[in-house]
Amino acid sequence: MTKLNPDGKNAKRRNHTVPRSLLCQWAVTETTRKTIHYIDCNDGSQKFEIGEKANFAVQEYQYVPIGTNGFRDETMENWFSPDESALITLARETTAGTFGQSMSAAQKGKAIRACIALGYRSHYEFDKMTEFAASRDPQATSEVIQRAIISHFWFIYGHKFQQFKNWDFTIFHSLPEKLFICDRPLFDGTVHKDPVDMIAIPISPNAFLMGMPAEDPSAHGTLFWRNGSTSTLANFMNHHAMMRAREFLVGDPVQLAGVIDEMSQSKIHDRKSLDRFVLKKTALE
């Protein structure tokens, strides 16, 4: 199995399913070293990782399939990068209280696009789509299936960007309680069993972004900031982070210890049985 891109260099092997720099917003300093605390959904235990590599969120070559030319195709992994950078800038400026003042409208748009994509790039969802594709064509090779998966998610990103392009977005900041973030961080209410026109994603332990259809269609695409002074908002976000977590749940260690029973193997198994996936007419069908 090749490790090379078309330039003959080693392709990007370590693909973070949630950007490393975003997860590092949850890192805490303990005796001079940075530590990220999380619950491992694979065994229901609370763990921590020293440093800021976020190895628990890494999958090898998830977004870098072997192309028909025999080399690794880094297009999707490279495409994520500028949007992720804009998202991290937005998260850091929100934490600092400057609220995106250094960012252009285009950069803010990229940050929002990164948030939307994070609803549909988890290892869990890629794995489920791989199982589905393999069941449709048992003779297909793993390389062919992965290319089909990438094609499917390209379609989903385009579909979702189009769906939300006329929405307004608000960042609720200065929350009174810390937020969790999971491996599937975007709550997309439009595909919920009880649909609602809303999306929401944490961007730091004390802030989250929410999108809803614009009240004024002529002025759509506005980004607002509001003080999230009530616990209700944080409770809503943390509930959905726990319900959506399939591989990890990152947060404050004391808060994680308080929800460990909700992240048991049996409860996650029950939640998986109710999962819903976006599937359009693509190479998977």
Name the residue ranges covered by the structural domains of the chain. Answer: 14-272
172 has which bridge partners? 208, 226
CA dist 242 and 123 (Å) reads: 17
- Calculate ∠ Cα 184-222-181, nearest 5°: 20
DSSP, residue by residue, 3-34: -B-TTSSBP--EEESS-HHHHGGG-EEETTEE
pLDDT of residue 279: 73
Question: How far is CA 72 from each of CA 15, 62, 143, 215, 244, rounded to the nearest angstrom?
Answer: 13, 11, 10, 44, 31
CA dist 190 and 154 (Å) reads: 19
Q: How far is CA 66 from the centre of its chain?
A: 23
Q: What is the mean pLDDT of the chain?
A: 94
Q: For the segment 204-213, what is each residue's pLDDT rounded down to a tens digit?
A: 999 999 999 9
CA dist 242 and 264 (Å) reads: 11
**Residue 139 phi/psi, 5° resolution?**
-85, -10
CA dist 198 and 47 (Å) reads: 32
Please check the confidence at residue 284 and state whether its pLDDT lies above 60.
no
Q: For the segment 216-236, what is each residue's pLDDT rounded down to a tens digit?
A: 767 666 899 999 888 999 999
The DSSP letter of residue 206 is: T
pTM for this model (two decimals): 0.95
Q: 59: which 2 tokens?
A: 């999958």
> Among all chains, which residue has been given the structure tokens 């004390």?
206
